[in-house]
A = this chain, B = another copy of it.
């Protein structure tokens, strides 16, 4: 038990670093998809796509539902929200509105004068 949260982020960021996998994520965001549906747009073997889906699964970005011989894949956005959470800390660097922490700092500074 080292750090589950960190390990997850490793897997999630790695999974998202490949454009094919991001496209697969996008497709699943529309609706549930079978493996061959997901493979269809790509100029690449089904085996390759199968591996990509496994990477997404390891990152908990995909939930698979086996229904007879077809596997139905659906996006698990909870993993994406983990990225969002991670990013939250850095948001103040590009957002115009001050975040609560910064507001406190500004208030504190004003009191000094």
Is B87 a contact partner of A80 (Cβ separation < 8 A)?
yes
How many copies of this chain does one complex carry?
A: 2
Interface residues of A in 70-86 (CB under 8 A from B): 75, 77-78, 80-81, 83-84
B residues near A81, Cβ cutoff 8 Å: 93-94
Pick from B16, B83, B90: contact of A77, CB under 8 Å: B90
Chain A interface, >50% SS class: helix
Nearest B-chain residue to A14, judged by Cβ: B17
Question: A4 to nearest B CB, angstroms?
Answer: 12
The reply to whether the CB of A29 lies closer than 8 angstroms to some CB of chain B is yes
Which residues of A pack against B, CB within 8 Å?
6, 9-11, 13-14, 16-19, 22, 25, 29, 75, 77-78, 80-81, 83-84, 87, 89-91, 93-94
